[in-house]
Amino acid sequence: MQFFPSDYFIKLKKEEIFPDPKRPLEIDLGCGDGSFLINLAVNFPSKDFLGVERLLGRVRKVCRRSLKEDLQNLKVLRLESSYTLEWLLPDHCASRIHLLFPDPWPKKKHHKRRLVNEQFCASLVRVLEPNGEFLFKTDYLEYFEESMSVLKSFISLKEIQWDPDSYYPKTDFEKVWTDQGKIIYYARFKPNK
């Protein structure tokens, strides 16, 4: 279902997103058509999942698919990811934040539109639980290198190994890129206590 905050200008309380604040909450920034999130929501009914997506058509598609599966643990917010992370989400509410195949903005004049910057890192630390995780994937090497440089130099974040045994479904874009034989770059970080 689509999630509409009662006020877009004050920080939410966790229980405004889903009724039970004790349940783990995972956030997918730029969830696209939502296959990844729907897969997780089906497989982990004891967790809640919030997709953030700015395109209305994609938001509607996720809502339709989630309704078809009768998923009570999945909602989608139609909003810009940086704003959502910086200004709307409550402190330390998320067990995992996923940023999967964000738009790479390859032209130099558009680099400032890229999501990963110092403010984004500070917002990650604010929104993640102390033991939470940030998971990042891209097929775009130059964007990966730039993002890794920002993430690694942010002292309140610490890189950890990607757990090869964790259940982590492929996203729609990942399926396309892997079918084309592209290399996928990935990284995992946690708050540095």
| Cα–Cα distances in angstroms (integers) from residue 39 to residues 74, 114, 144, in the given order | 10, 27, 25
Q: Which of 15, 20, 103, 145 binds ligand SAM (CB under 6 A)?
A: 103
Q: Which of 81, 123, 138, 147 binds ligand SAM (CB under 6 A)?
A: 81
First to last CA, the chain: 35
CB of 192 to ligand SAM, least distance (A): 25
Interface stretch with ligand SAM, choices 7-15, 41-49, 101-109, 184-192 (CB under 6 A) = 101-109
Radius of gyration of the chain (CA): 16
Cα separation, 40 vs 148, whole angstroms: 26
What one-character DSSP code corresponds to residue 86? I
Binding mask 53-72 vs ligand SAM (x if CB under 6 A, - otherwise)? Answer: xxx--x--------------
28-40 burial, b for 16+ CB within 10 Å, e for fewer? bbbbbbbbbbbbb
Cα separation, 30 vs 36, whole angstroms: 11
Q: Is 188 in the site for ligand SAM (CB under 6 A)?
A: no
Using CB under 6 A as the binding rule, the residues of this chain from 18 to 47 that contact ligand SAM are 30-32
Cα separation, 176 vs 192, whole angstroms: 34
Catalytic option among 7, 28, 33, 103:
103
What one-character DSSP code corresponds to residue 72? S
Q: Which of 101, 120, 134, 140 binds ligand SAM (CB under 6 A)?
A: 101
Interface stretch with ligand SAM, choices 67-75, 127-135, 148-156, 172-180 (CB under 6 A) = 172-180
Q: Which lies closer to ligand SAM via its Cβ, residue 21 or residue 146? A: 146
Does the annotation count 103 as an active-site position? yes
Both tokens assigned to 171: 């996203």
The residues of the shown chain that bind ligand SAM, judged by CB under 6 A, are: 30-32, 52-55, 58, 80-81, 100-103, 171-174
